[in-house]
Structure 1
């Protein structure tokens, strides 16, 4: 059972949301925040240069959200990773002790912050559970095979009496992280643009503190995604942009691994090959096509330039900390 929440103050938490041209989904998320009890001290919305009515939608909630709303509209679309990097930066500079990250295609369960707060005195990197679009339990791959840098698809879904399971990954659809860990590992890396950024960030956090997924349903997904149902597990549809960044960004992970002394060329190469194969399976069984494979090859090619970049460096810590 979690430690009692007497030491957790909801006002010290900020929700950081990234959005792009999905004002209807964002409105649904903001509506759910109006119903939260308790509410966070701040809601930070990072708008990736949306061309729809996102600014007007945000403005319509400013007086009735029930907490301080901070809106930052970027000049260009920096992708999910750039948005979350900016969201974490803003929340950190606001003095937030806890930062709760989420996409715009979820809504918050009304007592979700209280549920997360029950675990806050015990852990500093926490992931809650989510309901899927249809109300079913959403399974997330919370463990990675570290040396290969890929999720473990058969990690157990059930919880024991402790109510939590160790994780070494992360998901920006619900990551709940303490500022002390952000200070040590730095901001999320905006160079990913999309894909792998949250997995790497969660992995970096797990190197600094015990990280857990807890048996608490705190979010509900509000966007239906085409998927291949495999029972407990499922495989979502993708896009050409995702396919490109899935392969290109393996090079960024490799650079982090090298900088931290955990890179194994054989095992990491195997992880890259398995990732490529998985995307081929996704094309065939989810999207019923083989068109799009060129984006996988192009991502691998562009990743080589990242691997050769002599000026590349990991995101810096926000404070000086000893190496673990």
Structure 2
């Protein structure tokens, strides 16, 4: 994105935003060394959130010990949820959002364990809260470059729009109709209406779908505020301002399978267009083939794409399948 950072709209937090009502939700799995770095960055935050919720997807490393070592240092109430099995990022964020919502959090800030938070991150997000209820900040990549995130999607195709403008004007924000759980900052009113993230995705398309649902209820924005930094290096194909990251067999499977789940959400909200959506599925398949060849230098792994297509069709054809319900008003 743009190389010039827009200053925060105000140097101080608005009176309507209380940092103590915000909760950071972290999902982690067998990456205690990365989680440690994230928790260290939260210790350095000023101001700090009222709560930090760590959802552990049944890690086999020393994640529990790492979390407990920060209990006295965070300056926030720490809530640790260790799940009995790995539910994927989708299940982890669903559980984390549920916990944060039941804590009474006004604002919920979601993030993976492979980022760090800027010390003034909560201030930079908080200054936008009088205007918006679904906010995405920006992040630096592992090498310090500016990460470009595809913040617009085509509902009819069900895929991100890769050529959405990358720069910002004087307003300091752009409207989005997507979402990313690596940095989504969302108000409880929107969570109540949308419901919890769907754990059945396991990984992939879950945050995009959730962000799209949120954008139907409120003006969702990505703001020109750098609030996160990625701490894990990924193999990638650099195409200038755009790039393709390396993937895995699990991602290849779920990126195709979960289009069956997405179809149900688009159908439920009157946005499903069969021909265009099928085209979007084909484009996704081609993109993953390109990723295999250009980034991972192999053609092995295509069987996972075909398995995902097969299982996705079964999900799409299931008449008993229901989308996640809204939460009770509170």
TM (normalized to structure 1)? 0.98
**Match of residue 123, structure 2, among 109, 114, 119:** 114
Distance in 2 between residues matched to 1:61 and 1:155, nearest whole Å: 40
Distance in 2 between residues matched to 1:270 and 1:311, nearest whole Å: 25
How far 1:6 moved relative to its partner?
2.0
Aligned length: 321
Distance in 2 between residues matched to 1:59 and 1:204, nearest whole Å: 35
Task: Determine whether 1:282 maps to 2:311.
Answer: no
Cα distance per residue 1:101-160 (max 9 Å; x no partner): 000000000000000000011100000000000111011000011210100111111000
Distance in 2 between residues matched to 1:135 and 1:48, nearest whole Å: 29
Distance in 2 between residues matched to 1:281 and 1:2, nearest whole Å: 40
Distance in 1 between residues matched to 2:305 and 2:110, nearest whole Å: 28
Cα distance per residue 1:260-309 (max 9 Å; x no partner): 11110011011000000000000000000000000000000011221122
The corresponding residue for 2:267 is 258
Task: Determine whether 1:139 maps to 2:142.
Answer: no
Task: Determine whether 1:164 maps to 2:173.
Answer: yes
Correspondences of 1:203-242 after superposition (within 5 Å): 203-242=212-251
Distance in 2 between residues matched to 1:165 and 1:115, nearest whole Å: 16
Distance in 1 between residues matched to 2:197 and 2:14, nearest whole Å: 28
Distance in 1 between residues matched to 2:9 and 2:145, nearest whole Å: 25
SS in 1 for 2:104: coil
The corresponding residue for 1:90 is 99
How far 1:2 moved relative to its partner?
4.4
* Alignment check: 8 A CA contact 1:88 1:99 kept: yes
How far 1:256 moved relative to its partner?
0.6
* Alignment check: 8 A CA contact 1:2 1:122 kept: no
How far 1:66 moved relative to its partner?
1.0
SS in 1 for 2:127: helix
Distance in 1 between residues matched to 2:14 and 2:176, nearest whole Å: 22
Correspondences of 1:17-32 after superposition (within 5 Å): 17-32=26-41
Distance in 2 between residues matched to 1:19 and 1:189, nearest whole Å: 17
SS in 2 for 1:6: coil
Distance in 2 between residues matched to 1:162 and 1:136, nearest whole Å: 23
How far 1:165 moved relative to its partner?
0.1
Distance in 2 between residues matched to 1:191 and 1:234, nearest whole Å: 28
SS in 1 for 2:15: helix
* Alignment check: 8 A CA contact 2:105 2:188 kept: yes
Shift >2 Å, 4+ stretches: 1-4
Distance in 2 between residues matched to 1:9 and 1:65, nearest whole Å: 17
Task: Determine whether 1:12 maps to 2:26.
Answer: no
SS in 2 for 1:7: coil
Unpaired stretches in structure 2, ≥5 consecutive residues: 1-7
Unpaired stretches in structure 1, ≥5 consecutive residues: none
Distance in 2 between residues matched to 1:148 and 1:206, nearest whole Å: 17
